[in-house]
């Protein structure tokens, strides 16, 4: 099909979808191919994204869109079992991926983690990793890194894997939303293109998460499982209530510090971040061990804990950072925070009853995250903690003193904590 005919077919397909009609594979392929080669305007791409937000896709369309998104991009080539982890996201400061990847790699499994930049939060995994290492590579470079050290944490943008997805993310970002079906297609297309065979999916539920109700989360999990079967990927979904960040740092360098606190087993490490990372790593290891001869006697989570507590995970993380051009001996003490900061003090005594994750995200973005890698918020208190009037409860960081002042002023209208 020549380019003019394909573009016309893509436009007609978008019109059909806006009217609620089902699309065929040739129509869907035309849309994905045109988007991936940036031959559709942002306006037409936005119409396409909007067309699926309310009604979603049929199971057949989900399969077609995922297949087309894979086929219009590059693929990674690995031999044997390839593990991966993904979070539906929406909750800032929960950087489990950067703990899970070195645990799985230290256990002897390949785990090429191809991540996105921020969509609804102040930092995506790629933004966080970029604070300490290079994240832009070619497919062949990724294969070399993973074959040498067992894992990587890289950005998809330069890999050409499911390229249509990154363009769609670009038009979604200003409104900070993704439809559930778009999330499913985005995740599965990248996993298939990366050669994933075993996958753990984190599906957080909460009133300020992307998914608000358990019934919705379970439906998303079912769709993931059905789609994974079509592509011969073994998947386990972890649907969990998430009311606040598992870590304390919000923003790239602050989230790196949380990760290193856990890997270094610091006494003041964020324990909820550690617990969630171990649970997800354990589920992924259990899935992988089913296809390995002579697995460890204990369960996957026990093995993950041993790898973490022994220091193997930290060593593997440092190997991955070095392989990606970062400092091989990176530690939490070697990180440099932003030069400007502001301690926000509690306006009254009481207990923290609620955390508004939307406001948390907004304020962190005002501070400059993720482009300013040192910008963000460090939570000194969390849900159900008691606070005393004038006690510091979180700290704002920014390299720009004017953005720091703007964020400080914004807190009057967008409070992060509800204290009673």
Q: Can you give the pLDDT at residue 54? A: 66
Q: Can you give the pLDDT at residue 202? A: 96
110 part of a folded domain: yes
Distance CA 104, CA 147 (A): 14
Overall number of domains in the chain: 3
- From the list 326, 327, 283, 281, the residue with the least C-alpha distance to 308 is 281
Q: Is 125 in the same domain as 153?
A: yes
Q: Tell me the pLDDT tens digit for each residue of 64-92.
A: 999 999 999 999 999 999 999 999 877 88
Q: Decide if pLDDT at 53 tops 80.
A: no
Report angle CA 68, 26, 63 to the nearest 5 degrees: 40
Task: Average the pLDDT over 95-101 and give the result.
Answer: 97
End-to-end Cα distance, the chain: 64
pLDDT level of residue 361 (50, 70, 90 thresholds): very high
Mean pLDDT of the chain: 93
Q: Can you give the pLDDT at residue 1? A: 67
Q: Can you give the pLDDT at residue 237? A: 97
Burial (CB < 10 A; 0-12, 13-18, 19+), residue 335, is middle
Domain end residue (candidates: 301, 332, 363): 332
How large a percentage of the chain has pLDDT more than 90?
Answer: 78
Q: Tell me the pLDDT tens digit for each residue of 111-138.
A: 999 988 877 788 999 999 999 999 999 9
Q: Is 162 in the same domain as 294?
A: yes
Domain end residue (candidates: 42, 71, 100): 71
Instruction: Using the structure block, give the residue that is written with the tokens 């436009």.
Output: 11
Q: Can you give the pLDDT at residue 175? A: 63
Domain end residue (candidates: 297, 315, 332): 332
Q: Counting every residue, how long is the chain?
A: 420
Q: Is 58 in the same domain as 187?
A: no
Using CA of residue 379, residue 382, residue 385, residue 390, what is the dihedral sign? positive
Q: Is 57 in the same domain as 90?
A: no
Distance CA 348, CA 414 (A): 17
Task: Average the pLDDT over 83-112 and give the result.
Answer: 94
Lowest mean pLDDT among 107-111, 156-160, 261-265, 268-272: 156-160
Q: Is 226 in the same domain as 354?
A: no
303 part of a folded domain: yes
Q: Can you give the pLDDT at residue 61? A: 92
401 part of a folded domain: yes
How large a percentage of the chain has pLDDT more than 70?
Answer: 98
Q: Three-state DSSP class for 173?
A: helix
Distances from the Cα of 65 to the Cα of 29, 52, 69, 97, 217, angstroms: 7, 12, 6, 26, 21
pTM of the predicted structure, to 2 decimals: 0.92
Q: Tell me the pLDDT tens digit for each residue of 170-186.
A: 777 676 666 788 889 98
78 part of a folded domain: no
Q: Is 381 in the same domain as 277?
A: no
Q: Which domain holds residue 132?
A: 83-332
Q: Is 375 in the same domain as 311?
A: no
Strand partners, 152: 112
Q: Decide if pLDDT at 2 tops 90.
A: no
Q: Can you give the pLDDT at residue 49? A: 84
Phi-psi label, residue 162: left if phi above 0, alpha if psi -120 to 50, beta otherwise = left
Q: Is 328 in the same domain as 200?
A: yes
Q: Can you give the pLDDT at residue 167? A: 85
- From the list 52, 43, 42, 61, the residue with the least C-alpha distance to 18 is 52
Q: Tell me the pLDDT tens digit for each residue of 4-15.
A: 899 999 999 999
125 part of a folded domain: yes
Q: Can you give the pLDDT at residue 177? A: 63
Distance CA 235, CA 196 (A): 10
CATH code of the domain containing 8:
1.20.970.10
CATH code of the domain containing 196:
3.40.1030.10
Task: Average the pLDDT over 295-301 and give the result.
Answer: 88
CATH code of the domain containing 389:
3.90.1170.30
Q: Is 52 in the same domain as 154?
A: no
223 part of a folded domain: yes
DSSP state of 94: -
């Amino acid at each position: 099909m020549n380019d003019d005919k394909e573009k016309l077919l893509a436009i007609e397909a978008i019109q059909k979808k806006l009217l609620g009609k089902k699309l065929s594979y040739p129509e869907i392929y035309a849309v994905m191919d045109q988007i991936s080669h940036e031959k559709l305007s942002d306006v037409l791409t936005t119409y396409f994204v909007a067309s699926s937000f309310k009604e979603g896709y049929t199971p057949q369309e989900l399969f077609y869109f995922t297949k087309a998104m894979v086929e219009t991009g590059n693929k990674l080539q690995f031999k044997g079992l390839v593990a991966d982890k993904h979070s539906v996201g929406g909750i800032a400061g929960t950087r489990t991926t950067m703990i899970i990847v070195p645990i799985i790699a230290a256990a002897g499994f390949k785990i090429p983690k191809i991540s996105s930049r921020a969509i609804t939060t102040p930092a995506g995994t790629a933004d966080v990793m970029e604070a300490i290492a290079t994240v832009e590579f070619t497919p062949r470079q990724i294969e070399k890194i993973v074959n040498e050290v067992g894992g990587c944490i890289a950005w998809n943008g330069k890999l050409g894997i499911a390229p249509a997805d990154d363009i769609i993310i670009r038009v979604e970002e200003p409104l900070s939303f993704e439809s559930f079906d778009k999330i499913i297609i985005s995740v599965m297309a990248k996993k298939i293109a990366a050669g994933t065979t075993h996958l753990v999916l984190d599906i957080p539920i909460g009133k300020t998460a992307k998914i608000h109700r358990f019934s919705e989360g379970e439906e998303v999990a079912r769709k993931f499982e059905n789609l994974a079967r079509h592509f011969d990927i073994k998947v386990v979904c972890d649907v969990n209530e998430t009311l606040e960040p598992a870590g304390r740092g919000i923003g790239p360098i602050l989230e790196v510090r949380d990760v290193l606190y856990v890997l270094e087993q610091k006494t003041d490490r964020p324990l909820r971040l550690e617990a969630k990372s171990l649970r997800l790593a354990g589920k992924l290891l259990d899935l992988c061990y089913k296809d390995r001869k002579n697995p460890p006697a204990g369960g996957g989570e026990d093995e993950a804990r041993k790898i973490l507590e022994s220091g193997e995970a930290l060593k593997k993380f440092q190997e991955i950072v070095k392989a990606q051009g970062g400092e091989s001996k990176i530690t939490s003490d070697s990180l440099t925070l932003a030069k400007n900061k502001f301690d926000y003090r509690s306006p009254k005594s009481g207990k923290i009853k609620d955390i508004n994750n939307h406001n948390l995200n907004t304020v962190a973005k005002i501070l400059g995250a993720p482009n300013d890698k040192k910008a963000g918020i460090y939570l000194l208190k969390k849900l159900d903690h008691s606070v005393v009037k004038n006690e510091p409860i979180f700290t704002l960081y920014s390299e720009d003193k004017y953005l720091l002042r703007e964020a400080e002023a914004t807190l009057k209208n967008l409070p992060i904590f509800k204290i009673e």
